[in-house]
Amino acid sequence: MHVVVRWLMRHVILLLSEEWVNAHQEVQTMQAAYRIQALCDAELRIFQVALVDLERLQIEATQAIARIPAAEELIEEMLQERMQQLARTIREKAKEEHTAALKAAR
Amino acid sequence: MNEEYHDKVLSYVSDAERQQQLVERYRQRQEMQLRNVPAPGRPEHEAGDIRTWWGARRESLALQRHHGRMDGIYYAARQAAYIQESALALEYYGFATAMRTVAAEEQELLTTDPNSLTGQIAEQMLLDSAERIRIASTDIQTDFRRKTLGSQ
């Protein structure tokens, strides 16, 4: 009798421990997948917002040039500077977010 | 489509011949998987090697140890296979998500005039974004492997 009980207990313990480890593994995988998804979503959202901003800047500049054609060169220069600044800000902000997300994951 | 951008970033997706090759390779791989050897099942325990005074059979200590070792190896193999599968699934998911994101960004980029300053800056932003996605995906995968596989 005790042989059967011991055999059953060993297998139940093995099964439970395996299930527990698998469940833990599943959680780790889902967390990593969610992190990738969240980062990709954030990248796409920022890109879309930035594109709208770039287009608005371009429209503003075009209108300004139409109003003051003499200042075309200056406006173009200013536009380029602002756009590059915008791209740089996004880059720096994304880097900060990325570092923070990785720190939180660890 | 901006040809220059197309050549630089996505030269591997638009070529019809290349697409055909990829589809063919995928089909071949699917067929090969059907021929894979199935994973070994649970190890069979031998019958007890000691006969009791009332005629039943029981396992000797050596046989119990042997069975215990076999079970241990079997569970370790199953565990390793499970971890490997989840790592592979995550690799695929990360790659597919990254590709979908870059493709969506590219669609957004295509709405802009490629000769305008907006188009040029947006193109640079897309390349930056793709690089960030690549690094983020790599970091997350590395972190995952470190936690689950214990790799450095």
| Total residues belonging to chain A | 106
Q: What is the pTM of this model?
A: 0.70
Contacts of A39 (CB under 8 A, 6+ apart): A98, A101, B133, B136, B137, B140
ipTM: 0.78
Average pLDDT rounded to a whole number, residues A1-11: 76
Asked if B144 and A79 come within 8 Å (Cβ–Cβ), the reply is no
| Structural domain for A88, as ranges | 2-105
Contacts of B86 in chain A (CB under 8 A): 25-26, 28-29
Residues of A in contact with B139 (CB under 8 A): 98, 102
Cβ atoms of A73 and A48 closer than 8 Å: no
Residue B57's beta-bridge partner residues?
B51
| Chain A residues 9-38 with CB within 8 Å of chain B | 10, 14, 18, 21-22, 25-26, 28-29, 32-33, 35-37
Task: Note which residues in 41-70 of chain A have CB less than 8 A from chain B.
Answer: 41, 43-44, 46-48, 50-51, 54-55, 57-58
B91-144 pLDDT, tens digit per residue, is 999 999 999 999 999 999 998 888 888 899 999 999 999 999 999 999 988 888
Please check whether residue B144 is in contact with residue B138, taking contact to mean a CB–CB distance below 8 angstroms: no
| A10-35: pLDDT as tens digits | 778 877 887 888 888 888 899 899 98
Helix axis angle for B117-148 and B61-110, nearest 10°, is 170
Q: Judge: A36–B137 Cβ closer than 8 Å, yes or no.
A: yes
Q: Inter-chain contact B109–A51, Cβ cutoff 8 Å?
A: yes
B125:A26 CB<8 A: no
